[in-house]
Chains A and B, each alone.
Chain A
């Protein structure tokens, strides 16, 4: 046999180790961040998104102008010092309205993503861990949801439930909850399929088997060992879901089925602007650009994350 090899190994290692150690002391998340930084567009997008989010959060303090202050003397004005982004047909300040609208649009996007990912994880994990009938039934439901035409369904659900929900949660809160539920409830399927596929492959991995062999319960295997390994692709889908939810909210608002018309969101400002495209193009241009930039930035970040969290490179 190999005699004293282990002893000699431990004797020689400390001498060689310290130099190499500092450079490689990274967790997989450090590694991912290092790779993400190399993705220039994603990094640039992250900065842009941060500025937008910071802007809508801090905006009301930096630009304390009321969103509903009507001033017919200043209606449909282009950008000026008094109104940096111009005014609408009631003379309301567009910058203030877009700051407020951005809060709603982004909050809806994030909340709808959370709902979608939560249901996606739940359905996907249950389907992936159970085999046979439960799996088949859940995937059948997923396919069913995927085959439903989304927009007519959104319109129908909002039309049916707007009044009852409004009664319980108030006008704005009711609209928020309903819109988030409807967008999240129709967007969980891709996450569910992804999570199921991840679980199907991960649950056969040796480290899960090893955890099982060393006494980890089923729940522990899922939460501790399978879920963290499935998270990479889910995070990517989650970012793209935020972008899709922002677009969906804009669509609903544009069609007049989102928030009440006196509450500005990016989509509803765009809707109000459409009749004045020829005389006040700035009115449509700014909310449109904000939606465009935000969604584009989120998609680029998703791209960067996909490269950074590629499981083949993490493993």
Chain B
């Protein structure tokens, strides 16, 4: 296979706290190919967001630090780059959108000014051209009346519209990779669907790859080609969407899939919705063996002794489990 667009190898992002080292991301391997959508799933606190922010080096250092690993962007390691060099990659090559559209826009500037700022940061354009570019981006993300809306302030937009503006801002320099950190979590369901559809449309138009971070398995099933399941700072399973939903191997993935509410099933069999018992382990002193062992129904003695390696169980399907 050709060189992946982004290749994260053995990334460890740790945070120094008063209580000790928090191993938020502890040896993550994942890669994204050109033009594909990779879903990164897992429950809150499993290191998804820290992984995403590590890619753009948005981690505050201190307290955070890269303990080990490489982040290869088109073959070039980002970790040793200076902040000035990172500024050139941000937005132009890799862009990110966040979870909170309501507060991700600066209230004192018009949305046009904010999109234009990003454009002007990376391209040499006059203000007028940049504003025109901003209006064009607003049109692309389906904001009605873009020529006028470009002069409006964020408080005049609804949550879904602001997320569209954020997408317009992130895509204004046509990045090769868009990292979407739970882009729809704060929105209601119909708007979620619109935003996901818009991202899909933009992906096809610009031919970029998307790293979609979410905890909604339904979103993953509809939008992604490949999925990486994370648990407590580790990748526990990686597979194509079909393989993951058709044949989940890791007990954690199985639990995640079973915890999706299904209207048809529960009505027929009067089943209770299944949940995974317990909570994510403390990342301060993670248990020595498999991190999921404490919550796993199939845990054996061997599970608590050493972290099992990722093993290939099918083409492109990897699982970190002894089963």
Binding site for B on A (CB under 8 A): 1-2, 5-7, 9-10, 13-14, 17, 21, 24-25, 27-28, 205-207, 209-218, 220, 224-225, 228-229, 314-315
Contacts and interface: CB of A to CB of B under 8 A. Distances in A.
A25 B152 CA distance: 7
Given A28-B153, A213-B56, A314 B95 contact: no
Given A2-B190, A215-B92, A207 B103 contact: yes
B108 A28 contact: yes
Interface stretch (B15-23, B83-91, B129-137, B298-306): B83-91
B90 A10 contact: no
Contacts, number: 105
B96 interface: yes
Nearest to B113: A224
A36 B166 CA distance: 32
Interface stretch (B191-199, B240-248, B252-260, B267-275): B191-199
B121 A206 contact: no
Contacts of B109: 228
A2 B98 contact: no
A225 B109 CA distance: 9
Contact of A9 (B87, B142, B193): B142
B58 A213 contact: yes
Interface of B: 56, 58, 83-84, 87-92, 95-98, 100, 103-110, 117-118, 121-122, 142-145, 148, 151-153, 155-156, 166, 169-170, 190, 193-194, 196-198, 222
B256 to A, nearest CB: 21
Which applies to chain A's interface (DSSP): helix, strand, loop or mixed? helix
Contacts of B88: 215
B88 to A, nearest CB: 7
Contacts of A5: 190, 193-194
Contact of B100 (A25, A206, A212, A315): A206
A25 B153 CA distance: 9
B144 A9 contact: yes
Contacts of A10: 142-144
A229 B144 contact: no
B145 A6 contact: no
Contact of A6 (B84, B155, B169, B198): B198
A210 B142 contact: no
A220 B89 CA distance: 17
Contact of B222 (A1, A9, A14, A315): A1
Contacts of B90: 212-215
Given A210-B166, A224-B117, A217 B87 contact: yes
